[in-house]
Amino acid sequence: MSTSHSTAASAALSAATNAARSPTSATPEQPLIRLRGVTKVYGEGALAFQALKGVNLDIARSDFVAIMGPSGSGKSTAMNMLGCLDRPTTGEYLFLGEHVESLTRDQRALLRRRYFGFVFQGFNLLARTSAQENVELPLLYRGESASKRHGAAARALDAVGLKGWEHHTPAELSGGQQQRVAIARAIVTQPAVLLADEPTGNLDTQRSHEIMELLWRLNRDQGITVLMVTHEADMAAYARRIVRFVDGVVDSDAPNPHPVEVS
């Protein structure tokens, strides 16, 4: 990453950091995330495929959104866009007023590391590496000292109910525990937004509800904005809002009238 990019991105994004963490410093009408007319075309020429066909979406701070819709409707494509892993072919993505679509790859990486945590269906943990070390990884990329990494990872593992399991490797943990490690890894950087693409897709019903209760608590207690893709109505029921994708557009977007209340 060049110094000028990193400096420019830091300056542009530090305002966004403060606003993301302190709701009072941002203008009340400015959403955390705003997508306008976002399209995504994969491939070129005769093989080109339009996965997103003009997505409009506003996400407020501390919202909890379930994204649903048929297979191939563009949910993961939209999540990659939201998480700054990819950028729109056309359209606008505003993160606290910053135009993400015009950032360089390096600036997007910076934005991603500062504000986003990711959880995937397949856990994506490093094998033969302890839970503690897996959780420390994002802090290692940030250049944090060993003592800071240890402390933050221990707190994140405690927050997901895995105190005492720090030295176990993924193979020594159940699927539900592995997903908890992945969530600890996602929250260890204190992200503004947690993006979870089918986080319960590989888990049984009981474990799935436990993971949903954990996401629900992180949203309520830490104010983390949670955007979660799921095919299961029982899991979407924990969200406050349900957005449904059909054929590359948002087909419906409505509050969940009766969100599950976790005690």
Ligand X SMILES: Nc1ncnc2c1ncn2[C@@H]1O[C@H](COP(=O)(O)OP(=O)(O)OP(=O)(O)O)[C@@H](O)[C@H]1O
Please give the residue ranges that form the binding site for ligand X (CB under 6 A): 42-43, 49, 51, 69, 71-77
CA torsion sign for 159, 219, 207, 189 is negative
Residues in the chain: 263
Q: What is the DSSP string of 77-95?
A: HHHHHHTTSS--SEEEEEE
Distance between CA 154 and CA 225 in Å, rounded? 22
User: For ligand X, which is the closer residue by CB, 19 or 79?
Assistant: 79
CB of 243 to Mg ion, least distance (A): 14
Shortest distance, CB of residue 242 to ligand X, whole angstroms?
A: 15
**Site size for Mg ion (CB under 5 A):** 2
Q: Identify what 42 binds: ligand X, Mg ion, none; CB under 5 to 8 Å per kind.
A: ligand X
Alpha-carbon gap, residue 187 to 161, rounded angstroms: 13
- Pick between residue 61 and residue 75 the one whose CB is nearest to Mg ion: 75
Residue number with CB closer to Mg ion (75 or 149):
75
Select 162 or 193, whichever has its Cβ closest to Mg ion. 193
CB of 75 to Mg ion, least distance (A): 5
- Kindly state the smallest distance separating residue 177's Cβ from ligand X, in Å: 24
Residues 188-201: b if buried by 16+ CB within 10 A, e if exposed: bbebbbbbbbbbbb
- Which of 227, 3, 192, 224 shows the shortest CA–CA distance to 114? 192
Q: Is 200 in the site for Mg ion (CB under 5 A)?
A: no
CA 62 to chain centre: 12
Residue 223 binding partner per list Mg ion, ligand X, none, with a CB distance cut-off of 5 to 8 Å that depends on partner kind: none
Q: Please, what is the minimum distance in Å from the beta carbon of residue 25 to ligand X? A: 34
Q: Which window, 76-84, 88-96, 179-187, 205-213, contacts Mg ion (CB under 5 A)?
A: 76-84
Tell me how far apart the alpha carbons of residues 134 and 186 are, in angstroms, rounded to a whole number: 10
Which structure tokens are listed for 133? Answer: 């070390």
Gyration radius from the chain CA atoms: 18
Of positions 76, 134, 179, 225, contacts Mg ion by CB under 5 A: 76
Q: Which does 141 bind (CB under 5 to 8 A by kind): ligand X, Mg ion, none?
A: none
